[in-house]
Amino acid sequence: MKTPTCIAAALALVLPVTAAGASPTDASRRTPVVAAVERVSPAVVNISAERVQEQRMAPFGGLMRDPFFERFFEDFGLPEYRRQVKSTSLGSGFIVDGEGRVLTNAHVVAHASDIRVTLVDERSFPAELVASDPSSDLAVLKIKDGKGLPQVSMGASDDLMVGETVIAIGNPFGLSHTVTSGVISATRRSFKGNGQEFRDFIQTDASINPGNSGGPLVNIHGEVIGVNTAIVQAAEGIGFAIPVGRARRILSDLLTYGQVQLVWTGVDVQTVTPDLAPALGMTGRPGVVVTRIEPDGPGEKAGLRNGDVITRFASRPVVDEESFFAAVDSAPRGAPQALEGLRDKQPLALMVTPGAPPPDYADRILERSAGLRVKTDERGVVVKGVREGSAAAQSGIRAGDRLVGIGEVMVESLEAFRQALLDARGQGRVRLTLRRGNVTASFIFPLS
């Protein structure tokens, strides 16, 4: 029979010797992915946002939850009961500075009455909403007493390579600080989903599920290169992230102004088609051609002309209308940006300084594209006039109709109308929802 001493000696031959109290760890297992996760995880937070919503209740309980009875109560003025129902949304975010500010998705904290963030070490803090921009789906939170907390290192998204390794960290389905990895499948991806059109996204095969929204997409060096967004929930094996370059500019605007500042070049463009390319000297090269220049706008001041071709803007390649507007959106106001292209088949290089659009710029676009002029009154935004023979006139729209929505955005003021229309500018078309009496209808018009 073997003694305990003999058994210990035998085990010593096959097990690695470690210091007292230490766990055996093979150094080769500490891959760059492990190192990147260790670097970023302390600054990734789990966000719990509580909402209080009002729910209508029939006077006689669940048996009366029927459209006929609801209309009966409305018509005869009978009492209606309402109760407040609490719901909780879970999402992710990451700390971006030493003041405890957190970047996340706007939809994670929309209409939240109480927000809490939890770190990987299980410390929990209350947080408040600083500013939100639903059109970009980004929001900024401030952790109360959040000074001195760990923060992420922000990388760059202009030089991303298809095939490079990326890591997504978040809280999918409430599973705290879950890590997934994959590669970049595409950059500057534009697509349609959930009834909306999305532009300029990073596409990855790293799993991004509900709860990951707002978490960081990280490169192999542990730098944030994107903000994960679970926008196509039915997708399998496909995830999307907002590039950190765009997120950084929006973050700066939200902290400085409380809202995103629209960037304007005063230039309208059209994608160069294969039929048009030879005449412009564009054989084998994608780009856009300038079709309209607003008087006294940044483009005109820079010396651009109708017919000029643009192939790069703000250090980004321009291959079509969407990529041009995405490049414009990523540029800050007031900072000169390099523009490259062709004029009369010869190389063209200019510096364009984007600025703020004039207050009535959206009004001009709508009148030019659809033939509609709008105003505001006690009902909200209403049609002031319809140009004879225009697309709006052919659709049967008339003065007095109320404009209630642009795309997915409900419109209640002239400012909201202008913001929503300019947000839709790069999509090439817009869906307007109008109301006449009790009838509501939607119309799609191209934007020019």
Catalytic residues: 107, 137, 213
* Long-range contacts, 125-132 (Cβ 8 Å, 24+): 125/100, 127/47, 127/102, 130/101, 130/254, 130/255, 131/254, 131/255, 131/258, 131/259, 132/106, 132/254
**Residues, the chain, total?**
448
284 dihedral zone (left: phi>0; alpha: psi -120 to 50; beta): left
Q: Do 434 and 397 form a contact (C-beta atoms < 8 A)?
A: yes
Q: How many CA atoms lie within 13 A of 230 on its CB side?
A: 24
Compute the distance between CA of residue 106 and CA of residue 112 in angstroms, rounded to an integer. Answer: 10
What separation in angstroms does the CA of 135 have from each of 158, 312, 423, 437?
22, 25, 7, 29
Compute the distance between CA of residue 331 and CA of residue 133 in angstroms, rounded to an integer. Answer: 17
Burial 29-48 (b: 16+ CB within 10 A, else e): eeeebeebbebbbbbbbbbb
